[in-house]
Every structure is written in structure tokens, then in C-alpha cells.
Amino acid sequence: MAMSRIRGAFAVPKKGETFELRAGLVSQYAYERKESIQKTIMAMTLGKDVSALFPDVLKNIATNDLEQKKLVYLYLMNYAKSHPDLCILAVNTFVQDSEDPNPLIRALAIRTMGCIRVDKMVDYMEEPLRKTLRDESPYVRKTAAICVAKLFDLNPALCLENGFLEMLQEMIGDPNPMVVANSVTALSEIYHAAPETQALKVTTNTLRKLLMALNECTEWGRVTILTTLAEYKTSEVNESEHICERVAPQFQHANPSVVLAAVKVVFLHMRNVNPELAKTYLKKMAPPLVTLVSSAPEVQYVALRNIDLLLQKQPDILNKELRVFFCKYNDPPYVKFQKLEIMVRIANDRNVDQLLAELKEYALEVDMDFVRRAVKAIGQVAIKIESASEKCVNTLLDLINTKVNYVVQEAIVVIKDIFRKYPGYEGIIPTLCQCIDELDEPNARAALIWIVGQYAEKISNAGDILAGFVEGFNEEFSQTQLQILTAVVKLFLKRPEKAQGLVQKVLQAATAENDNPDVRDRAYVYWRLLSNTSDPEATKNIVLSDKPPIVTTIHSLPPALLDQLLTELSTLASVYHKPPEQFVGQGRFGADAVQRAAIAEQIENARESPLAAAAAAAAVTGGAAAPQAQSNVENLLDIDFDGTAPASAQKEPGDGMSGLEGLAGTPVRVESPAVGAPAGSNNLDDLLGVFGDGGATSSASGSGAPNGGGAGADLMNGFAGLDLSGNSMASPPAGGSQPKKTNEDIMSLF
């Protein structure tokens, strides 16, 4: 369907059609000519190439019919490039028109001339432009002002030589507000295209003129002036105060883009005024921001993205407005998603009950994507507000009980994060383990396995659960594999008797049968740690150490980027939450800027919680694995250096090198004797060493139980260590009895 349509549009017009049009264009009757021009324009719109008619259309340029003139001009603008020589024929008409007594025609002529992007035309533009810039009619002047920007784009040198820039700068003082606005527009365009021209320099004097024009010009002109004011760096506090005072009334404008532009100006200049005054402005800007949320969905979306930015800088401004962000049933998904994020950001002790009830409602809807985000939001609220964590966990349990597959999966992922902040909710683990068979997404599986590993000593059938996963180890996604590996090792360290065979099996599968470097590397690290016979406590200290609780799972932008984006309020950059270099990337941005942007993005990605990244790339295994591995590197660093990781490693966590350095440092620091020797030798030896060591340990421990050899003693040691750590970790009494029981089991075994 689509293809044939495209082909139809591009097909060469039938001979007859062009012929007919041409005949009409040269007809002796005016109405026929006009009709043919209309048809030609229609064909042009449909994508047909009617450039062959250029000379014939051009013949109709000299007419008194304004409408026809406009059509011919429209055609000229489109096809001038294909017939640069013939354009010259139109010059005479343009020059004549630019002196027409009718201002509409003068303006039309100068407006069109600027759009005919042919070098020869430029030479003839100089005189008419100079005249029209000084025209008595403001309508012509405002059109000519924009034309200077057009000329600059075509031929900057000519524009500068003729002093058009200076003329434009003078026009900022024009008595007509619209001329002022357009002059500022043109100057700002030129300035951004070529900063060296210093085209738009706001001084105290121009500032006064801009503020005067602000209250009188059209809404679009106001946006231009406000944008310029936002870019202006004030030198003194008084000036900032004055700007804020004059701009704040614009909050009440009916046009949302004016409101956002005004918010931007006040928000940026507010930084210079005293905090008390700034506070009153923050208060003043809240109601207009809320009003933006009831505009058309697309405008709303832009507004919501901007509100998100403002909230990251000033978290309190919309504290009391939670209800406004409740999702309507008919809101488009992009609006709903953004509202969810904002609601989580403004959640606090007082409104959390209301929010939770609402989120639960969303979690029962049918749009899968929305439901998942709602569930995720519940988790974010739990981690953000400690006093509400219990309610959140209960809500999540309710949701798990609905047995809706994707709700359960998302809830498990979320609960894993809750455990990372509040380890005390282990009472709910049995409920979680019940849904083990329903999980088919790598994320959810990984989350549950992590929970099992983390609480291995409290889950009586942890071994059985993990055995099931080890069975199909090679069919799992790599992020799940990593978690299986870690969970089995944790289980082994906590309850060696249950997991000996398992740990063997999983290490074998992860090293010998797996190609993923992350999985292999982690398996080797564990293997080596486990083969460390001289100091078994060390392994436990490393793998089972208490990790610092996570602070938040709400995604926030890095402060530097946030500050940059606040200067870009209401632009595309503020919608994407990315610096403009990243998506504009053409022309005026140099290679340096692009590179800087790339680095910034890497840092941003690294900061993002691995889960968020994983969720985004759930389908792509490789993509999901990378951030996961990164976080592991960070975790390792945390453990080894007690949080005092070297600055280099923290600055660029995405960089493989720094991670490796940290790892290489590990054995030396903990002085592990088993690895002491191969540390200096080459890689092959190293690997062989690991294999040899691993093999020895496994065979020894395999036979350890019956004959009670050296390795058996080793195991005993290991167990004792676990017993201790188990006691120290088990805070609630319920789980406390468990290790003792297994202790007896083992004793009887011996």
C-alpha cells in the first residue's frame, strides 16, 4: 500500500499533465492562468516535479492580483535552486514591488527575496533591503528585520559589509514593539549562528527597551524577548531583581510558551536575588505551572518534562499539588508516564497515603507498560519515604496476590530494591518464592535469585530453588546467570553442606561452557576466592559483607547537566533531558562538543541504576549485561577499599581500565596467599592455576565428608565462620533458629 503510494507520488508526470498546465499558464485569460498556477502548486505539494514549468510560471509574476502574486512567489521559492539563471528575470519585479505604495506588497517582496536562495539574487537584495529597513510602515520594517537574518545565512560577508547588523541593532529602539521583537529574533539567530559577530549584546540600555517592548508585543514576540532575557547574564543584583519584577506578570499569559519562557527567565535570574525574594517568586510560579498541566496533551507533555527538571532543582515548589498530577483515564501514555515520575518526586510524608491508593489503582489497569511503571513507582516511594515503606510493601503484596503475570514480575524486581534498603522485610519471602514458576523475564528472575541468595540462611529450600536454576544455567540471560552465580556462592558460604555440588556445577558451567566475559570473569573470581584455603574468613568477608543501603531508585540527572538543562527550559533539550549537542549535532557544534557530550552520556548511563538500564534494554541481552557488570565493579571496589575507591575509578566507572585496576589491586590488598604466586605470572599460568586449584578443592571436598580429611576440616572452618556471621546477621529471632538446626545436621553427618 504505502510503497505503491510513494511510487505514485514520485512517478514522472504524464506528458499530458505538464502540457496542460503549461497551456493554462500562458493562456490569454487571466482566470485560466490563475487556475493553472493553483494546479501547479497542488502538484508541487504532492511531491511532483513541476520545475519544468519555471519559465511559464515566471511570466505570471507581474500581476496586480495579490493572491496570484503570492502563489507565484511560493513557486519561485521552491524551485529557484533548479533555475538560478532564470531567477534574474524576477528581480525586476521584486525591486519594483519593494517600492510599491502598498505596504503589504513591499513586505511580500522583501520577504520572498530573502527566501530565494540564489547567489545572483543576493546582489540585488542590498538596495531594497536597506530601504525597507527604514520603511515608514512598521509592518515592512518587521519583515525586513527578519530578512537580514536570511541574508546573513546566505552571505554573511555581504551582510556585515553593508552594515545591516548595525541597522538591526539600532532597531531594538524602534517605537513599534513588533519591530523590536523581530529585530531581536534576527539578531539572536545571527548571534547563535556566528557568535564572533557579537550581534546580540544586551546592555543596560537595550535591557530597558526590551522590557518596555515585552508588555506590548505579540505573544510570540514575548517568547523571543524572554528567551533573550534568559540568556542575559546580569552584572548586579538590582538588575536581576528588576528583570524578575518585570517578567513575573507574564506568568499570567494565556499562551503556555510565554508562561514557560517567563518561568525560565525568573528561575535563572532568581539565583542572584536574595533568598527571601526568590522564595516569593517560587511561590508565584507554582500556580501557573500547575495550570499548564491542563493544556493540550502535547503542550502538557513539554510542561511536565520541564516541571520534572524544576523539581529536581527545587523539590518543594509543588508540594501541595499532588492531585493535579493524577492520571486521567484518557491521558495519552507519554503524559501518564511523566505524571507518574513527577508524583514520585513530590511524594512526602503527608501525601503518601493518597499517592499509594492512586498508584495501586493504576497498577490494576490493563496497559502493561503503564502498570509496570506504577508498580515501580510504589517501590520508589518505599525507598524514598521510610515511614511509608511498610504500606508500600503491603500494597506490593496485594498486587502479587492478583497473580497477573507482569504485575508479579515487576513487583518482585521492586521488592528486591526494597530489601537493599530495608533488609528487615524478610517475612514476605515465602510469598515471593511461591511465584517462582511464573517468572519468565530475566529481570524478575535475577531479582528473585538475588533475594534467595541474600537470605539463603533463612530459606530452608534455597538449595532446591537454586538447583532448579543451575540446571538450566546456559539457557538463562546473562544478567540472570550472574545472579545465579552469586546466589549459589552465597548459599555455599552460608550453608556449605547444601551447596557443594551446586557450586561445583555452576562454576563449571560459568567458566567452561559460557562465552560471556562478565559471567566468566565473575565465576573465576569466586572460584579463586573459594579455593583460598588458608583464610576462609576472607572469602566470607568479601562476598557476604554488609553492603551500604541504597539511598534512592529515583532517576536524577547529574547536577552539572541539570544546571545546563535549566538554561534550556521549554526547548527540545528540556524535553529529552539531554544537552542539545546530543541530538542536534550538526553544523555549529564542533567535534569537541560531540565528544564531551558522549562522555557526559557515559557518565550518566553509569550513574543510572543498572536496573533501570536493564529494564530499558530487557530484550537485548548484551545491552542489559553491560551496566549490570558495571555496578558489580563498583560493588567490588566498595568492598575492597571500604568505600574509598580511587577517584579515577569513580569518575569513569564505565571505563574498563579503571575497573581492572581495582580488581588487580584486590589480591594484594587482602593478601590472599593462594593467589599470591600467580599474581605476577602470565595469564595462561594464571588460568591453569585457577583450574588446578579449583579441581583440587572440589575433589577434596567431594570426598571430605566420609573420611574427614584436611579439606573436611577446611569445610568445618568455613561452617563455623558462617555460624558466626549468621548470628550476627540474623536480627529477627524467627530466623535465628535456622542456622542452629543445620549446625546439628552437619554434626550428625560427621
Which residues in 582-621 contact another protein (CB under 8 A)? Answer: 583-586
Q: Is the dihedral of CA 482, 485, 488, 490 positive or negative?
A: negative
In this structure, what is the dihedral angle of CA atoms 110, 115, 120, 123, given to the nearest 10 degrees?
40
Cβ closest to another protein, residue 155 vs residue 255: 255
Cβ closest to another protein, residue 302 vs residue 544: 302
Q: What is the DSSP string of 452-475?
A: HHHTGGG-TTHHHHHHHHHHTGGG
Interface residue with another protein, options 4, 5, 15, 548 (CB under 8 A): 5
- Taking the complex as a whole, the smallest distance from the CB of residue 613 to another protein amounts, in Å, to 20
Interface residue with another protein, options 19, 55, 67, 534 (CB under 8 A): 67
Kindly give, in sequence order, each residue whose CB lies less than 8 Å from that of residue 260, ignoring residues fewer than 6 positions away.
292, 302, 303, 306, 569, 570
Interaction between residue 24 and another protein (CB under 8 A): no
Residue 450 near residue 418, CB atoms below 8 Å: no
C-alpha distances out from residue 254 to 204, 250, 402, Å: 29, 9, 45
Stretch that binds another protein, among 35-43, 593-601, 626-634, 696-704 (CB under 8 A): 35-43
What's the CA gap between 247 and 237, in Å, rounded?
Answer: 15
Interaction between residue 301 and another protein (CB under 8 A): yes
Stretch that binds another protein, among 61-69, 390-398, 610-618, 709-717 (CB under 8 A): 61-69
111 closest CA partner among 139, 146, 65: 146
Interaction between residue 738 and another protein (CB under 8 A): no
Interaction between residue 51 and another protein (CB under 8 A): no
- Taking the complex as a whole, the smallest distance from the CB of residue 4 to another protein amounts, in Å, to 12
- Taking the complex as a whole, the smallest distance from the CB of residue 102 to another protein amounts, in Å, to 4
What's the CA gap between 215 and 219, in Å, rounded?
Answer: 9
DSSP state of 677: T
CB atoms within 10 A of CB 350: 10
What's the CA gap between 728 and 398, in Å, rounded?
Answer: 32
Interaction between residue 357 and another protein (CB under 8 A): yes
Residue 488 near residue 470, CB atoms below 8 Å: yes
What's the CA gap between 225 and 227, in Å, rounded?
Answer: 5
Interface residue with another protein, options 138, 156, 173, 736 (CB under 8 A): 138
Stretch that binds another protein, among 122-130, 350-358, 650-658, 721-729 (CB under 8 A): 350-358
Cβ closest to another protein, residue 251 vs residue 419: 251
Interaction between residue 361 and another protein (CB under 8 A): yes
- Taking the complex as a whole, the smallest distance from the CB of residue 541 to another protein amounts, in Å, to 48
Interface residue with another protein, options 28, 157, 276, 329 (CB under 8 A): 329
What's the CA gap between 289 and 331, in Å, rounded?
Answer: 18
Cβ closest to another protein, residue 39 vs residue 279: 39
Interface residue with another protein, options 22, 142, 209, 384 (CB under 8 A): 142
Cβ closest to another protein, residue 81 vs residue 201: 81
- Taking the complex as a whole, the smallest distance from the CB of residue 70 to another protein amounts, in Å, to 6
What's the CA gap between 420 and 484, in Å, rounded?
Answer: 18
Interaction between residue 366 and another protein (CB under 8 A): yes
C-alpha distances out from residue 217 to 211, 230, 266, 571, Å: 11, 18, 19, 21
What's the CA gap between 288 and 19, in Å, rounded?
Answer: 58
What's the CA gap between 491 and 453, in Å, rounded?
Answer: 6
Cβ closest to another protein, residue 406 vs residue 425: 406
DSSP state of 427: G
* Backbone torsions φ then ψ of 13, nearest 5 degrees: -60, 150
91 closest CA partner among 56, 66, 39, 127: 127
- Taking the complex as a whole, the smallest distance from the CB of residue 87 to another protein amounts, in Å, to 14
Cβ closest to another protein, residue 38 vs residue 738: 38
Interaction between residue 323 and another protein (CB under 8 A): yes
Cβ closest to another protein, residue 101 vs residue 548: 101
Interaction between residue 688 and another protein (CB under 8 A): no
- Taking the complex as a whole, the smallest distance from the CB of residue 224 to another protein amounts, in Å, to 8
Cβ closest to another protein, residue 87 vs residue 690: 87
Site for another protein in 241-260 (CB under 8 A): 246, 248-250, 252-257, 259-260
3-state secondary structure of 645: coil
Cβ closest to another protein, residue 254 vs residue 749: 254
Site for another protein in 70-89 (CB under 8 A): 70-71, 74, 77-78, 81
Cβ closest to another protein, residue 197 vs residue 354: 354
Interface residue with another protein, options 150, 373, 490, 522 (CB under 8 A): 150
C-alpha distances out from residue 2 to 13, 292, 652, Å: 19, 38, 47
- Taking the complex as a whole, the smallest distance from the CB of residue 399 to another protein amounts, in Å, to 13
Residue 711 near residue 697, CB atoms below 8 Å: yes
Which residue reads 517582496 in cell numbers? 109
- Taking the complex as a whole, the smallest distance from the CB of residue 307 to another protein amounts, in Å, to 12
What's the CA gap between 621 and 618, in Å, rounded?
Answer: 7
Residue 451 near residue 419, CB atoms below 8 Å: yes
Interface residue with another protein, options 23, 26, 42, 677 (CB under 8 A): 42
Interaction between residue 671 and another protein (CB under 8 A): no
Cβ closest to another protein, residue 589 vs residue 691: 589
Interaction between residue 96 and another protein (CB under 8 A): no
End-to-end CA distance of the chain: 77
Site for another protein in 549-578 (CB under 8 A): 568, 570-576
- Taking the complex as a whole, the smallest distance from the CB of residue 178 to another protein amounts, in Å, to 4
Cβ closest to another protein, residue 179 vs residue 439: 179
Interface residue with another protein, options 124, 162, 194, 334 (CB under 8 A): 334
What's the CA gap between 3 and 346, in Å, rounded?
Answer: 48
- Taking the complex as a whole, the smallest distance from the CB of residue 136 to another protein amounts, in Å, to 9
What's the CA gap between 106 and 99, in Å, rounded?
Answer: 6
Cβ closest to another protein, residue 153 vs residue 535: 153
Interaction between residue 703 and another protein (CB under 8 A): no
**Maximum Cα–Cα distance across the chain:** 116
- Taking the complex as a whole, the smallest distance from the CB of residue 235 to another protein amounts, in Å, to 25
Cβ closest to another protein, residue 283 vs residue 740: 283
Site for another protein in 391-420 (CB under 8 A): 404
Interaction between residue 540 and another protein (CB under 8 A): no
Q: What is the DSSP string of 696-735?
A: HHHHHHHHHHHH--HHHHHHHHHHHHHHHHHHHH--SHHH
Interface residue with another protein, options 43, 86, 95, 115 (CB under 8 A): 115
719 closest CA partner among 745, 693, 696, 692: 745
Interaction between residue 298 and another protein (CB under 8 A): yes
Site for another protein in 447-486 (CB under 8 A): none
* Backbone torsions φ then ψ of 347, nearest 5 degrees: -65, 140
C-alpha distances out from residue 513 to 67, 491, 517, 518, 527, Å: 76, 22, 12, 13, 15
CB environment 655-665: b (16+ within 10 A), e (fewer): beebbeebeee
Site for another protein in 258-297 (CB under 8 A): 259-261, 287-288, 290-291, 294, 296-297
Cβ closest to another protein, residue 354 vs residue 401: 354
Interaction between residue 216 and another protein (CB under 8 A): yes
Q: How many residues bind another protein (CB under 8 A)?
A: 110
The letter for the amino acid at 502 is L
What's the CA gap between 224 and 304, in Å, rounded?
Answer: 22
- Taking the complex as a whole, the smallest distance from the CB of residue 365 to another protein amounts, in Å, to 5
